[in-house]
């Protein structure tokens, strides 16, 4: 199963959030299992989203999705 790892520095003054995502691709759908590590602990999330492989590769789509997810969490509640 492919994996994407990265980190996100929150807009507010907080420690970065590190993420690891295992994913698989079925047609135009990416199924993922993500682990987020931050100063407040570890959380896990799984789900799926659609993407267009004619415009973006699966790895890039997963990375962009996670960064967007974490950016939204900056405005709401931590991931």
Structure-model confidence comparison of residues 75 and 56, the more confident one: 56
What is the model's pTM? 0.81
pLDDT score of 14 more than 80:
no
| Section 50-71 average pLDDT | 93
CA angle (53 as vertex; 57, 64 as ends), nearest 5: 45
Give the pLDDT confidence of 17-43 residue by residue, as tens digits. Answer: 899 999 999 999 999 999 999 888 999
CA atoms within 13 A on the CB side of 49: 17
- Cα distances (Å, whole numbers) of residue 42 to 47, 51, 55: 17, 27, 33
- Domain boundaries, given as residue ranges, for the chain: 3-75
Q: Which residues of 23-39 are buried (b: 16+ CB within 10 A; e: fewer)?
A: bebeeeebebebbbbbe
**72 has pLDDT over 60:** yes
Question: pLDDT tens digit string along 42-58?
Answer: 999 999 999 999 999 99
């Amino acid at each position: 199963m492919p994996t994407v790892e990265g980190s996100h520095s929150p807009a507010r003054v907080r420690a970065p959030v590190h993420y690891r995502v295992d994913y698989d691709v079925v047609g135009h759908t990416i199924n993922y299992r993500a682990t987020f590590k931050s100063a407040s602990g570890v959380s896990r999330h799984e789900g799926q989203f659609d993407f267009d492989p004619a415009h973006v590769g699966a790895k890039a789509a997963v990375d962009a999705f996670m960064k967007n997810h974490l950016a939204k969490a900056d405005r709401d509640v931590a991931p």
